[in-house]
Structure 1
Amino acid sequence: MNNVALQSDTQESAAQEIVVEANLPHAPEAIWKALTTGELIGRWLQMTPTGFEAVQGKQFTYQTTAAGAWDGVIRCQVLEAVPHQRLVYSWKGGHESNVGYGSLLDTVVTWTLQRIERGTRLRMVHSGFVLPRNDGAYKNMSGGWKKVVPRVGEIAGEQD
């Protein structure tokens, strides 16, 4: 894997986004399969979705560690699904009474796949972090997504 980069919006603003890009040596079809198959998502994200289908409007959830008034459920909805090109879903969790971990989170994850000469350029943007409320989630997920995106490539490689 090459060109794995972590970039973030550095403007002084209330909302931040995490951007991770990688050139992966696999066809967009293999990357798409890794991004849209529940069991494979569970392997690269280390959380298996419940009820996921790559169909616009489909609601699904992830379960993570609960905290305070938050039950640990991440509620998502597919906003856009263009096979082998683009997958967008909402990512909502937390509770308004929590501070730090488990604070209210209302964000969007966008995956963009672009065929390149030797594989696929994969771009993940997780947007909508409101700072300072989501500062902990932003920092933790910035590091997390940087590890996850290469794992998508590893899982896709097993599907080639």
Structure 2
Amino acid sequence: MVSDAIERVVVLRHPIERVWAALTTAQGLSRWFGSVARIDLRPGGRAFFRWDDLDGESVATIAVVDPPHRFAFRWGIEGLPEDEALQTLVDFTLEPVPDGTRLRLVESGFAQAAADVARSAHRTNTQGWDTELVDLEIYLDAAA
């Protein structure tokens, strides 16, 4: 049985507005999520992410923009052709807490792919999010 979702919760020692900007601006995203990012921040808008060290690029479609509390996008499942319709939903929820901002990340929709593809994509993205969320924290702490 393939897990359908990845879920991570971190508390970042920064105000919600700073975390929101890191998640939703090209300048912020380019500092922690990939090497280069472009984003058209509106539902139906596109976001482009490139990772120089992976020689890879991803295109996402913005699904939800609710500043500064929720941001979500859909993107392709790793291991499927780029024109494949199956996508996962990456959903960030931000909540102010006494120590800063609680960030909840949920990426869901892996189980719609064939089991071997879903397992591999889930494993790859789990490792990716673990790394990227550390990079987010490092970026925010350095910019403070």
User: Is TM > 0.5 for Structure 1 vs Structure 2?
Assistant: yes
- Distance, in Å, in 1 between the alignment partners of 2:70 and 2:25 is 15
- From 10, 20, 30, the equivalent of 1:32 is 20
* Contact kept? 1:28, 1:113, Cα under 8 Å: yes
- From 109, 134, 140, the equivalent of 1:150 is 134
Does 1:19 find its partner at 2:7? yes
* Contact kept? 1:73, 1:93, Cα under 8 Å: no
* Contact kept? 2:77, 2:110, Cα under 8 Å: no
**Contiguous gaps of at least 5 residues in structure 2:** none
Does 1:122 find its partner at 2:103? yes
- Distance, in Å, in 1 between the alignment partners of 2:7 and 2:138 is 19
**Contiguous gaps of at least 5 residues in structure 1:** 1-11, 67-71
Q: What is the deviation of 1:95?
A: 6.7
- From 91, 111, 119, the equivalent of 1:135 is 119
Does 1:77 find its partner at 2:58? no
> Which of the two has greater helix per residue?
2
Does 1:113 find its partner at 2:94? yes
Q: What is the deviation of 1:32?
A: 0.4
Q: What is the TM-score with the length of structure 2 in the denominator?
A: 0.80
- Distance, in Å, in 2 between the alignment partners of 1:47 and 1:76 is 15
Q: Percent identity?
A: 24
- Distance, in Å, in 2 between the alignment partners of 1:147 and 1:94 is 17
Larger Rg: 1
Q: What is the deviation of 1:116?
A: 0.4
